[in-house]
Amino acid sequence: MTPQDFKDILLKRRAELAGDLLEIEDKLDDPMPKDWEDRASERQGDEVLEALGNVELEELRKIDAALARIEEGTYGICPKCGETISDERLVAVPEAALCRRCARGA
């Protein structure tokens, strides 16, 4: 696969995440119910949404970093050891910054 192929994959995933994050933000902005029991249940749901949003934000940051590496021409090269990151790893984890060996040791 070419860097452009990976860029397309990353951009598609980025758009999905951005949509998910907007949806989460919208749900978190909903007014709280007046009933205490409903409010407690809603608060638990909000905590789950916030955790999910944080995970998605971290993935978004990794995707943005991978897109920057594509633009710089360093995508697919492990910054730690300088070796090429295998296509198998990049297909599985397109935002991967490290080769498999360095990621295990990190």
The domain containing residue 34 runs over which residues?
3-105
Query: What is the DSSP annotation of 74-87?
Result: -TTB-TTT-PBPPH
Task: Give the per-residue pLDDT at 87.
Answer: 93
CB atoms within 10 A of CB 26: 9
Looking at residue 94, the DSSP 8-state letter turns out to be: T
Phi and psi torsions of 4, nearest 5°: -65, -40
Number of domains comprising the chain = 1
Question: Which positions of the chain have pLDDT values less than 50?
Answer: none
Task: Give the per-residue pLDDT at 52.
Answer: 81
Could you tell me which of 47, 53, 62, 55 has the C-alpha nearest to residue 14?
A: 62
Task: Give the per-residue pLDDT at 21.
Answer: 86
CATH of the domain at 41: 1.20.120.910
Give the three-class secondary structure for 40: helix
Contact 25, 50 (CB under 8 A): no
Task: Give the per-residue pLDDT at 77.
Answer: 96
Contact 80, 98 (CB under 8 A): yes
Query: What is this structure's pTM?
Result: 0.77
The H or E element spanning position 33 is none
